[in-house]
Amino acid sequence: MIDKIAHRGPDEVHVTTLADAPVTMAHCRLSIIGTEDGAQPIRQAGNMLVANGEIYNHADLRAILGEAAFETASDSETILHLFRSGRSRWIDRLDGMFAFVLATKDRIIATRDPLGIKPLYVANMGGGAIFASELKAFDGVPVDGIEAIPPGHLIDSRDGWRQWYRTPQGAASAEPGFDIGRASRELRLVLEAAVAKWMVADVEVGSFLSGGLDSSIIAAIAQKVRLAQGLGPLKTFAVGTDGSPDLRAARAVAAHIGADHHEAVFTAQDVVGALPHVIYHLESADVDLVRSALPTLFAARLARAQVKAVLTGEGADELFAGYTYHHGYADDPRALADELTRSLGTMHNINLQRVDRVTMSESLEARTPFLDRDLIDFAQSIPAELKMRHTDPEARDATGPTTEKWILRKACEDLLPADLVWRKKAQFDEGSGTVDALSGALASLIDGPVNRQSEGALYERILGETYADPDRILAAAGTWEADRVLGG
């Protein structure tokens, strides 16, 4: 099983059995924090832990728990000490992106971060439980009932399932006297704190830069953080077809913020070669997910040659109403707020699955500061009518022009050129030129008409050829439009 997911951590691989207990754990490590002594599984006082991800408040937790108790510099060790402290709701004190399994002689605890940034699956085997970060680890293994541990949930062999985190419900309309300027200024401060927190590492952290609003905001703030720390310029990474809008925009943003910019061009032939890799690692044949995963793969390959971790702009569309279909909710802020809350809860097996699987296939850690818990709490308190806002606030009708992510643009308008801050959003697979390159690739791979149906069938066939039991994979795949809240 560990061999099948060894791409997630090529630095070290260890397999360990817990003494006097029927527990075996394996871990493949990508060393980011505690690079010298952070090997896993971690064993202490009869307990054993494997963890994936990063605990960004580990320094604060060390101070609270007592530095003397720690044996390593690893952020993951804080999980063990929190558990042993017996503190009420100890799991809720972890701030970051993580999935872990913790074992004692008579107990197993497994959990996943609030939004499901990091994956974790559980299955039954021989009367016991078996866990893995990716579905491919189970392929060919005689297990039953594979299921994803939901975001913000915990499974305890002693106490059963528990949901320890619930996404706060989004606000709809502004109360009388709501101060938009104050809200936008505070949003900026919360966002800056999130980026700084998610840059904590013992290795250099770069940033994806598509040239769109979200990645540009993250890169601009990250550059400020690095310069304030006396470090060199931020490394940024952009990909696209020759002459694509994303490459041009990213180049302009990088020049504006003074980044150390890197870019790569891909072709239709590159897409043909990448499809089997993308679909195998993505663990999905969803057409939209595959399309957006292709440029992510090329960006990950470019970045991994320079850094081990990158910042991304994922989560901004779900928090601030950035998708095209959100414009249909402009006159129903309550439905929009509910839809944003719903979509945040489904990111784990759609966009976050794409980012995690594709970047980790290249042994690169992707970090998503827009999904910081403090930022989520604050963003959800901002009225939805300020996220998808009528350009003319008095034109409250279905035909009036609307601007997506209005409050985010307002909060960050001094960071970037005005033509970027206020331009309309382009999908990553469109702006990078992936759609056009993919059209050329599909024509060489599909006999007959090329349409969405034949494209989906091709992806399912490719997936079926790479797995012994592809039905398991397809059964777990998420879809982009599942259970949308209907607007008025």
Question: Residues annotated as binding site for ATP?
Answer: 239
Q: Tell how strand 121-125 and strand 107-112 pair up.
A: unpaired
Dig out the tokens for 46 from the structure. Answer: 């009869």
Tell me the C-alpha distance between 434 and 441, whole Å.
10
Which residues are within 8 A (CB) of 95 and not within 5 positions of it... i.e. 6 or more apart?
Answer: 55, 56, 57, 197, 373
**End-to-end alpha carbon distance in the chain:** 48
- Are 48 and 25 contacting, i.e. CB atoms less than 8 angstroms apart? yes
Element (H, E) at 186: helix 180-198
| Burial zone of 453 (CB within 10 Å; 0-12 exposed, 13-18 middle, 19+ buried) | exposed
| Alpha-carbon span 404 to 390, nearest angstrom | 9
Q: CA 140 → CA 15, 130, 137, distances in Å? A: 20, 14, 8
Give CA–CA dist 425/229, Å, rounded: 32
Do the beta carbons of residue 171 and residue 387 sit within 8 Å? no
CA distance 421 to 412: 8
Neighbours of 161 (CB within 10 A): 10
Q: Give the C-alpha separation, 58 to 423, whole Å.
A: 39
The amino acid present at 42, given as its one-letter code, is I
Give the H/E segment covering residue 50: strand 47-55
Task: Tell me the three state secondary structure of residue 422.
Answer: coil
Report DSSP state, residue 33.
S
CB-based contacts of 28, cutoff 8 Å, min separation 6: 2, 5, 6, 7, 8, 9, 10, 12, 13
Tell me the one-letter amino acid at 317: D
List the binding residues for L-glutamine: 75
47-55 and 42-44 as β-strands: parallel, antiparallel, unpaired?
antiparallel
At 274, the amino acid letter reads: A
Task: Give 207's strand partners.
Answer: 236, 311
Structural tokens at position 49: 């832990």
Whether 346 contacts 478, CB under 8 Å: yes
Residues annotated in a binding site: 75, 239
As a whole number of angstroms, the distance between CA 25 and CA 40 comes to 9
